[in-house]
Amino acid sequence: MSAKVWLVGAGPGDPELLTLKAVRALHAADVVMIDDLVNPAVLEHCPNARIVPVGKRGGCRSTPQDFIHRLMLRYARQGKCVVRLKGGDPCIFGRGSEEAEWLGVRGIEVELVNGITAGLAGATNCGIPLTLRGVARGVTLITAHTQDDSSLNWSALARSGTTLVVYMGVAKLEDIRSSLMTGGLDSRTPVAMIENASLPHQRELRSTLTSMYEDALAFELKSPAILVIGEVAAAGGSWKCTDTTVSTQPENKQVIRRGR
């Protein structure tokens, strides 16, 4: 493959959830710039590439996005095949399109490659159908964390009749609960919280809107985790996904259910 930048989704963690296209790009890469949330196990597909960690813990705290942009540009202009590897999908709360745009206007060829986003992976892995005939007509992906602290229209979300999947919500559980309850969502609405989705140490907590905050505290829920809020969040549990890396260490997988 010639010099270009591939903005690739690495999926939620389980290396088997990589796409074939992501694997092909990794094989071709000279340089792989990797985010914190990417499971390093996926790097087995690029044994000869230079690996450059560029997550927040990668030593570029001050102006990370600008630093990342310039580094991608420099490598691409050197004629290298660059893979920018991001957790989940590059365009779901992942700045993939911003990076593509920045490179594109500077004449760099860019390709975006889908990854399985954490919200979809976590739910499916726990047997939760995000849409369900007669129960949930849609699904809304939202982030509880905004750059400018602007607020979501929580009452519209509460009335939407769609399943809500919340990213980056662990530190905002109390606010999310009160916003949704004020917006009119039933306090008994089921909530599932899935930490480290698809990884061997995945943990899953089932609760309700009214007690999600206290239950999460007791469970010591940690980031990265996604929240699934809606009637469907009570589903699953009578069977478990076994054909993933999760099954290799089932003793690590923790499932806690709290009553409705």
The residue ranges that bind ligand SAH (CB under 6 A) are 12-13, 37, 86-89, 92-94, 117-118, 122, 167-168, 194, 196-199, 223-226
Q: Is 186 a catalytic residue?
A: no
What is the C-alpha separation between 214 and 55, in angstroms, rounded?
Answer: 31
Question: Which of 21, 168, 172, 175 does the annotation list as catalytic?
Answer: 168
Output 12 or 190, the one with its CB closest to ligand SAH: 12
Nearer to ligand SAH, 212 or 226 (CB): 226
Specify the pairing of strand 225-229 against strand 190-195: antiparallel
* Annotated catalytic residue 56: yes
Write down the least CB distance from residue 46 to ligand SAH, Å.
Answer: 20
Is residue 35 a contact partner of residue 78, using CB atoms and an 8 Å limit?
Answer: no
Query: At closest approach, how far in Å is the CB of 19 from ligand SAH?
Result: 13
Tokens at 78, concatenated: 């050197």
As to burial, measured by CB atoms within 10 angstroms (0-12 exposed, 13-18 middle, 19+ buried), residue 175 is middle
Cβ pair 186, 230 in contact under 8 A: no
Which residue has its beta carbon closest to ligand SAH?
88
- Cβ nearer to ligand SAH, comparing 196 with 207: 196
Provide, rounded to whole angstroms, the least separation between the CB of residue 257 and ligand SAH.
18
The first and second tokens of residue 236, run together, are 């699953």
Side-by-side strand order, sheet with 4-9:
50-53, 31-34, 81-86, 4-9, 110-113
Helix (H) or strand (E) holding 34: strand 31-34
**From 4, 14, 33, 35, the catalytic residue:** 35
Closest separation in Å from C-beta 115 to ligand SAH: 6
CB 228 within 8 A of CB 129: no
Nearer residue to ligand SAH within complex by CB, 48 or 149:
149
- Can you read off the two tokens belonging to residue 31? 């340089």
Minimum CB separation of residue 56 from ligand SAH in Å reads 11
DSSP string computed for 157-176: HHTS-SEEEEES-GGGHHHH
The CA radius of gyration of the chain, in Å to the nearest whole number, is 19
State which residue, 86 or 206, has the beta carbon closest to ligand SAH: 86
Q: Which two tokens stand for residue 179?
A: 């916003």
Tell the smallest beta-carbon distance from residue 170 to ligand SAH (Å): 7
In terms of CB distance, is 80 or 205 closer to ligand SAH? 205
d(CA 227, CA 167): 7
215 is catalytic: no
- Give the catalytic positions in this structure: 35, 56, 168
